Amino acid sequence: MRLGNNRSHSLRKPKWLKTVTVIEVDITTSATGGLSIDVPFACTVIGMKAISTAANALATVQLSDGTNVVTNELDIAVLGSAPQAVTVDPTYYDFVKGASFVLTTNGAADRAKVLIEVLPR
């Protein structure tokens, strides 16, 4: 076994190795009509979490592309709750750079810190 200048052990990142990126969005005003966020790079949505920052009965948040629902609704009614999306629709989870993530809440007073988990493409 040769340990010296063995170039077969490259430190470059393999093409198959992907890094999960989290896009953080604070919902601080009403998002009942949808809060639009520009997609900064081509990516695939693999999950979403939300941390409730205000208690509000029946509060929910959901991710879409403006037309099609990407994740299930997350229940953010209890202050400090941190639900995670259990479904991500593979028909709509791919986004191109410049498209829009749209977060929609159930009520005008629903507040949360939303973490959209993506894999860059």
Least Cα distance to 116 among 100, 106, 108 occurs for: 100
**Separation between Cα atoms, residue 44 and residue 18, nearest integer Å:** 11
Residue 8 lies in a domain: no
Residue 10 lies in a domain: no
Residue range(s) defining the domain that contains residue 67: 21-120
Residue 6 lies in a domain: no
- The one-digit pLDDT tens for each residue of the chain (121 residues) are 455 555 555 567 777 778 899 999 999 999 999 999 999 999 999 999 999 999 999 999 999 999 999 999 999 999 999 999 989 999 999 999 999 999 999 999 999 999 999 999 8
Residue 14 lies in a domain: no
Domains of the chain: total: 1
Q: If you compute the radius of gyration of the chain from its CA atoms, what whole number of angstroms results?
A: 18
Task: Give yes or no for a contact between 20 and 117, defined as CB atoms under 8 angstroms apart.
Answer: yes
pTM value?
A: 0.85
**Separation between Cα atoms, residue 43 and residue 55, nearest integer Å:** 32
Query: Which two three-digit tokens encode residue 3?
Result: 């340990």
Task: For residue 67, give the CATH number of its domain.
Answer: 2.60.120
